[in-house]
Amino acid sequence: MARKPAPVRITTATRSHKQDVALRQKRYLISMGIRTLCFVLAIFSMGHWWLWVFVGASFFLPTIAVVVANANSAPDTGGPAYFDPDIAARAISPHQGGQPPL
């Protein structure tokens, strides 16, 4: 089945609430997955110096994950380009005003 093409954006509005929540959940789950991995690696690295690195990471990552997940998301920059007309190109020259040049 062919995928539908992405719709053309004609507004600078930000993401919908549903999309914002989904993005926050994804960031949180990735952070907690890294935390779980650090905890498992800490268990398997008993007796090594890097045990404390993994324990520290698994201790601080939940706080960091919550702060990052609940932070205001960056504005969605996928909107249309702003139109900046070239005023000089549209200006009427003195001899185009209906009278011949002198």
Give pLDDT tens digits for 73-84.
655 566 556 666
- How far is Cα 2 from Cα 42, in angstroms, rounded to an integer? 45
Please indicate, yes or no, whether the overall pTM of this predicted structure exceeds 0.95. no
Q: Please report, for the chain, the start and end positions of each structural domain, with discontinuous segments joined by +.
A: 16-71
pLDDT value of residue 70: 74
Residue 97 has pLDDT above 70, yes or no: no
Higher local confidence (pLDDT), 64 or 90: 64
pLDDT value of residue 80: 59
Place of tokens 């650090």: 38
Do 51 and 42 touch, CB atoms closer than 8 A?
yes
Q: Which of these ranges, 15-24, 62-71, 85-94, has the smallest mean pLDDT?
A: 85-94
